[in-house]
Chain A
Amino acid sequence: MKLLAELVLLSLTTILANNYVLVKFLGICPFLGVSKKVGTAVGMSVAVTFVMTVASVVTYFVQILLDAAGIGYMQTVAFILVIAVLVQLVEMAIQKFSPSLYGALGIYLPLITTNCAVLGVALLNVQEGFDFVHTLVYSFSAGLSFMLAIVLFAGVRERLETADIPKYLQGFPIALVTAGLLALAFLGFSGMKF
């Protein structure tokens, strides 16, 4: 029971107070690039969440291997390798089993390889010294926090499309201002003690 409470707490903290995009500022590239429509934002974040969770599980064991060999400092390189392979595998599997989902995600799938949030989760898992269960929950929550941020942002941007914005703020400038305000709003969660 104590473990369960701890895991829920960890999950909530990751999603709200330590939001990956808006507080830790990881994964900004897809956050700005794939947030023009809510539909694609959801698709992207589902794919990212999946890759994050699987990558964290695999890197957990890779880290054990690296530590056993006494080369823990190579983790960054090894993790990038793992993530790249995983994304390839996921892409192939999706293409085989669900061509419609493959068509919907399209270019965003390979782009996950270069999403720093995925590498960030893998590295932070090691840094925090999480055990396997914590790793699983933490990385899944990290994916959810990415989803929360990007879907909220996409909703705002859809409305911005029709808003009367001064000429020099149209497009990316107003999106960046919005992102800043969203980040400020999420800063409010950091005061909460769970």
Chain B
Amino acid sequence: MKEILIPVIILGAMGAIFGVLLGVAAKVFKVKRDERLEQIEELLAGANCGGCGYPGCSGFAQGLCRGVANITDCPSTKPENKEEIAKILGVVVGESVPKVAMVMCSGTCSNVVLNHHYEGINDCVAAARYGGSDKACSYGCIGFGSCADVCKFGAIHVENDVAVVDKDKCVACGACVDVCPHNVIRLVEVRQRTFVKCVSKDKGATLKNICSAGCLGCRICEKNCPKDAIHVVENLASIDYEKCVNCGICASKCPKKIIDFTRPDGTKPYVAEKEEI
């Protein structure tokens, strides 16, 4: 009996002493935490996507409490939660334009010429340093899916060697925009429905030999636009969204059908037919 009791008593006493010690230490070393921090952290999306520019949601919450961050900087928190946070902080939520990431390239493996063979790490950044992937186009989507790797929401996947964004999952944190070595992915406003799906600045004569879905810079869109909203700059059509009314005329006139136009009901009337090159 004694052999059991003595160790139990001594270790128990040690444990009790240490427990009290820790309890006292917790009081002595107590760090004052802002009460609002916890509430705000709970209301934030908790995705830690870094879209706000702060290290994770807790970093953003600290920034909010110190008054340096702006609640509209968070792309993924729900609007009603933002209202709640604004109430806690005693500020008013500003207007924030919902955005979504979009891959501005149509160079799928059937559209673009594959003229060399890349053997290296399956990573867009690495491939871009060697001059790109198998594709002949040096501007478009490389297709190794570095964007898909950094996406924390599983909103991007590579289809036919071109990245595709799932609009429902995308929160527009911009992680893919930062990682893409060719800057093919842009953040666009959700309400826009007309996009030039090409980023190549090659001359039309060069481009038409390497990709069947590239902007030739023919200016047909420019001539037909009723609002003077689309212009060819450096052999590439670009839309001025200040003026664009999403009428879709440019998309209907584009000979290469690379202007992506979606009707309000979600249908795409002007899709290119498959063309062999």
Residues of A at the B interface (CB closer than 8 Å) are 62, 65-66, 69-71, 74, 77-78, 81-82, 85, 88-89, 92-93, 95-96, 99
Contacts and interface: CB of A to CB of B under 8 A. Distances in A.
Contact of B22 (A69, A71, A85): A85
B132 to A, nearest CB: 20
B15 A65 contact: no
Given A92-B26, A93-B29, A81 B7 contact: no
Contacts of B7: 69, 71, 74
Q: Helix, strand, loop or mixed for chain B's interface?
A: helix
B31 interface: yes
Interface string B147-167: 000000000000000000000
Nearest to B19: A85
Interface residues of B, number: 15
Contacts of B6: 69-71
Given A66-B10, A78-B14, A89-B21, 16 more contacts: A62-B14, A69-B7, A69-B10, A71-B6, A71-B7, A71-B10, A74-B7, A74-B11, A77-B11, A82-B18, A85-B18, A85-B22, A92-B25, A92-B29, A93-B25, A96-B30
Interface in B27-69: 28-31
Contact of B11 (A70, A81, A88, A96): A81
Nearest to A93: B29
17 contacts: A62-B14, A66-B10, A69-B10, A77-B11, A78-B11, A78-B14, A81-B15, A81-B18, A82-B14, A82-B18, A85-B18, A88-B22, A92-B29, A93-B29, A95-B29, A96-B30, A96-B31
Contacts of B31: 95-96, 99
Given A88-B22, A95-B29, A81 B10 contact: no
Q: Helix, strand, loop or mixed for chain A's interface?
A: helix
A176 B17 CA distance: 42
A19 B153 CA distance: 45
A79 B11 CA distance: 10
Contacts of B22: 85, 88-89
A151 B121 CA distance: 28
A96 B10 contact: no
A65 B10 contact: yes
B14 A89 contact: no
Nearest to A85: B18
Contacts of B28: 96
Contacts of B18: 81-82, 85
A114 to B, nearest CB: 18
A99 B22 CA distance: 19
